[in-house]
Structure 1
Amino acid sequence: MLNEKQTRHLTLPQWKTLIKHVDEQKKAEQQLKASEESFRTLAETVPQLVWTTHPDGLHEYTNQHWRDYTGPMSEQIQRWDHLQFIHPDDRAGNQALWQHALDTGTMYEHEERLRNGQNGEYRWFLTRAMPMRDDTGQIVKWFGTSTDIEDQKRTEESLRQSQERIRALIDSNIIGITSIEMEGEVLADANEAFLRMTGYTREEVQSRTLSRMNIVPPEQAPLFERSIQELTARGQHTPFETELVCQDGSRLPVLVGGVIFQEQPRQMVAFMLDNSARKELEQRKDDFISMASHELKTPLTAVKLQIQLVRKRLEKQSQPEAATTLARVEDPVKQLERLVTELLDVSRIQAGSIEYRRERVDLDELLREVTATIHHLHPSHTILFRESVRASLIGDRDRLGQVFTNLISNAIKYSPDAEAVEIDLSPSEDAVTVHVRDHGLGIPREQLDKIFERFYRVTDLRQGAIPGLGMGLYIVAEIVKHHGGTITVDSTVGKGSTFTVTLPLMRDA
């Protein structure tokens, strides 16, 4: 600016130039003020922590969000050391990158944890700063923001941990894992456990020549087709036991489960557990049961015949008390004989050698005979038999009698405090349905799917004293299945159970 002495000697044109220069300077100052006010209005509106520094990095401004997060600030903001708010582990990275930005005039960016001045806790922020330059290209200040990315970091950490668990599972030597393209059912990838189990090589998998057609036995195809249908409908399928064809042509028993992994292109991940040890153990058990039951059958039959002969002799010799005592021995012998017979049936079912006759069966007559026999053995219970129409079918009369004898006997056995068992027979156009209903102990819902498994018994303290080996319902289910029928159960603990058998009418078994 000119001083008073200098202005005295100005000419009129010089005065006009001076006034114009002053006006332009005032306008520039007003525009700068308006710009700064707009900037501060914007800075106070955005959700980020906003700050500015001088060209040398000394802070000159922070918005309210920054002050709310970091806590009360002194008026000497230019002297403020921002490092006090940064996590100790992140300070070195902050200093190095910030100094590099100041030296080169390039953008600053760093993920760092900032301390909350209210509670002392740290949260992750993404901090960025850009240099602001004048018309000559000189840096006049730095404009910076800090964006809260704590939720993103937590998500990333959860994803990382999840990926580590998945990788640990994939790299494990316990479970075979394959990635399968649904279209064409081609193996796209497999872990080392699968390759070791089956003998296939990494090259064979990468060549994409392995598919379900190669590694699944033809007779197992329906199982896989049903699992694919379930997979499409639910995104996963119920695990099931099957076999895989290995590279050398041998077969490997496995337990298979699968889930949809991605939609486009649709891929599934299959999990396979080597089931050969369990199958071998089951085979040994079956062999032992078969051998033991056959070895017991002959001497048991001899004991039974001897008891009957001795009892008849005692009756002829007018020794009724001795005969009665001996008769009591027959009941446990009969029970043992029934158990041995069930063991033999189980071993025959497993071997596929159980024999069935084909004959016309009057189901109404059969049920009446069975109920009469059981009622004679258990006079304490009333067996209510209701029929709508007489029904006949083709099957093995003795085996079907075995089914209903077991169901009605169980209904009585598991209803110690109830006096009635109900039997309903109701035919439809192509099938006949028999309901056997009791009002006894009932079966826990979580065990209903297991009661038809071999050697499975309901685990309930109230039923612990009831004898049995868990073979009866397994045999019943197999006989019903052989006749083309189904068996289901509906039960409520404390109220009783209803077993429903549905058999096709006049159908060859």
Structure 2
Amino acid sequence: MKAQREMMNRRPGVLPDFTRPGTYTGCWKLELGTKKLSICPRTRRMLGLRKNQEMDLSGFLKLLEPEQVNHLIREFTCACATNSKFEVRVKVNTPGGKVKWLRLSGVQFYRGWDIAEQMAGVVEDTTQLMNEECLSLAVVNHELRSPLTVVKLNIQLLIRMLSGGRDQHTVRVLQTVDLHINCMTSVIEEYLTSPVSELHQSASNRTVFCMEDLISVMISEMKLLHPGYRFVRQNEAKVQVRADKYKIIQVLVNYLNNAVNFSSPASRITISSNTTNTCVEVAVQDQGIGIPAGQEMQLFQKFYQVESRSVRKKNSKGLGLYLVKKIITDHDGTVRAEKGRSGGSVFYFSLPIYRADAQGDSGKVTTRTI
């Protein structure tokens, strides 16, 4: 029996036990039409299922927390719509009461020419790796936060000392530095904290702020950093959003830096806003190299790079737009890109508009001004 199992594992297309150190691997398959979920015996052992216990799609989703169910559905829907690789990491509460971290990945399979019939892939038990990662991140987090705290305290001291004087320009510069220290602290908390608390932390960092004020601050900074480019503001929208302000700064910085990096000096970079009844959409348009046809949504895939010599010269890692998409989708927004009508490219992101009368937590939200 053991020899038969070893021969099965060596068949073409069947993955070995370990695809990376510290992970145990199984397989899964989902019929896209009927939503029928099939899992291999290894995956059943990961989930702690009994010998004859059935597991369908709804049963698997019940093992996840509600926030992770929403995240999984968003990633799956996007992968199906863009015909890209599906990849997500989730925390599973097994029927036996154990907590495990699983990494799910898969691709669509076609039997005809047009319609995908199923998605199949791999599930990896990364619990051990996650525990080791959490310990390492805790050490790095402490070492980075300590000097940032000292810098922030000194900046705030200087702001208090100069706030009553005439040199208000220096005060504004110090306030901008303080804003970016807060942004760096937020990035550290996002990427150097335990994933166990990631969802709770993401929600707790959200505040209400004016989108137009944040855009104005970012444009002012970009004009100082890149005086050779023309930054133009159009269609200002004085609306409030409820979001993690420092993550939205990351999104704007990424879009604006890309517009600068892939445009020639003296180019015009236009930042515009449009609102509907429910959301505000921000667009950053450049006069750069543009987007190849058919690659508009692929740009937001992890590690994706356009096959272009000018892109390779920028030493891009293909992570910036992937992180933009992750941040915005976590805020129930959308991202998209298109080729500009007069050349260049346009990158969009949208966020839900915050209205206090329509929110049940208006008294619990902290309002900040830029």
**TM-score category, normalised to shorter length:** 0.5 to 0.7
Deviation for aligned residue 1:448 = 5.0
**Aligned twin of 1:60:** none
Match of 1:391 in 2: 238
Quick one: distance in 1 between partners of 2:93 and 2:243?
37
Matches within 5 A, 1:54-65: none
CA offset digits 1:254-292 (Å, max 9, x no partner): 425487899xxxxx8774423224x75466556545542
Deviation at 1:380, TM superposition (A): 0.9
Query: Is the alpha carbon distance of 1:197 and 1:496 closer, same or farther for their aligned partners in structure 2, counting shifts above 3 Å?
Result: same
1:416 touches 1:440 (CA, 8 Å); kept in 2?
yes
The 2-side partners of 1:248 and 1:287 are apart by: 25
* CA distance in 2 between partners of 1:467 and 1:423 (Å): 25
Contact map agreement 2:268 2:286 (CA 8 A) in 1: yes
Q: Give the conservation status (yes or no) of the 8 Å contact 1:417–1:440.
A: no
2:284 touches 2:347 (CA, 8 Å); kept in 1?
Answer: yes
Q: Within 5 A, what are the aligned runs for 1:421-432? A: 421-432=269-280
Within 5 Å, which residues of 2 pair with 1:235-314? 239-241=86-88, 248-250=96-98, 251=100, 253-255=102-104, 257=106, 271-277=120-126, 281=129, 284-285=132-133, 288-289=136-137, 291-299=139-147, 302=150
How far does residue 434 in structure 1 lie from its aligned partner after superposition?
Answer: 1.6
Query: C-alpha displacement at 1:482, in angstroms?
Result: 4.8
1:195 deviates by 4.9
Counterparts in 2 of 1:290 and 1:409: CA distance versus 1, 3 Å: farther
| Secondary structure of 2:216's aligned partner | helix
Deviation at 1:377, TM superposition (A): 2.5
- Amino acid in structure 1 at the alignment position of 2:242: G
Structure 2, unaligned stretches of length 5 or more?
A: 1-6, 18-24, 112-116, 158-178, 360-364, 366-370
1:420 aligns with 2:265: no
The residue number in structure 2 matching 1:168 is 11
Paired residues for 1:310-329 under 5 Å: none
Q: Give the percent of matched residue pairs that are identical in Structure 1 and Structure 2.
A: 20
Change (3 A) 1:290 1:479: farther
Equivalent AA in structure 1 for residue 11 of structure 2: A
In the superposition, relative to structure 1, how do residues 505 and 191 fare at CA in structure 2: closer, same or farther (>3 Å)?
closer
CA distance in 1, matches of 2:300, 2:35: 38
Paired residue secondary structure (2:258): helix
Q: 1:270 to 1:292 in 2, by over 3 A?
A: same
Displacement after TM superposition at 1:171 (Å):
6.3
Corresponding residue SS for 1:367: helix
* Residues 409 and 367 of structure 1: CA distance in aligned 2, closer, same or farther (over 3 Å): same
Q: Counterpart of 2:222 in 1: which secondary structure? A: helix
Structure 1, gaps ≥5 residues long:
1-163, 263-267, 310-333
Specify which structure has the bigger relative contact order, considering alpha-carbon pairs within 8 angstroms and separated by 6 or more residues. 2
Count, aligned residues = 307
What is the CA distance between 1:376 and its match in structure 2? 2.3
Give how far 1:391 is off: 3.0
Tell me the CA shift for residue 385 of structure 1. 1.2
> Could you report, residue by residue, the CA deviation over 1:230-252 in whole angstroms, capped at 9, with x for unpaired residues?
98x99x99634365665745446
2:174 maps to what in 1?
none
Tell me, in whole angstroms, the C-alpha distance in 2 between the residues paired with 1:224 and 1:478: 13
Letter in 2 for 1:273: V
CA contact (8 A) 2:141 2:193 kept: no
Q: Quote the residue 1:121 is aligned against.
A: none
- Provide the secondary structure at the position in 2 that maps to 1:424: strand
Q: Which amino acid aligns with 2:255?
A: L
Deviations along 1:459-507, whole A, 9 cap, x unmatched?
7654556588877555544553454322222359xx6432102223334
1:342 equivalent in structure 2: 187
Largest Rg, 1 or 2: 1
1: CA distance, partners of 2:288 / 2:45: 51
Match of 1:212 in 2: 57
Distance between the aligned counterparts of 2:155 and 2:35, measured in 1?
A: 67
Query: Where does 1:20-31 land on structure 2 (aligned, <5 Å)?
Result: none
CA deviations 1:364-402 (Å, max 9, x no partner) are: 444333312321232111011111x64312335843455
TM superposition score normalised by structure 1: 0.45
Give the Cα separation in 1 of the matches to 2:290 and 2:338: 9
Give the match for residue 164 of structure 2: none
TM-score (norm 2): 0.58
8 Å CA contact retained: 2:291, 2:345: yes
Letter in 1 for 2:241: I
Q: Which has more helix, going by share of residues?
A: 1
Supply the distance in 1 between the matched residues of 2:79 and 2:311 (Cα, whole angstroms): 36
Per the alignment, do residues 285 and 503 of structure 1 end up closer, same or farther by CA in structure 2, a change over 3 Å counting?
same
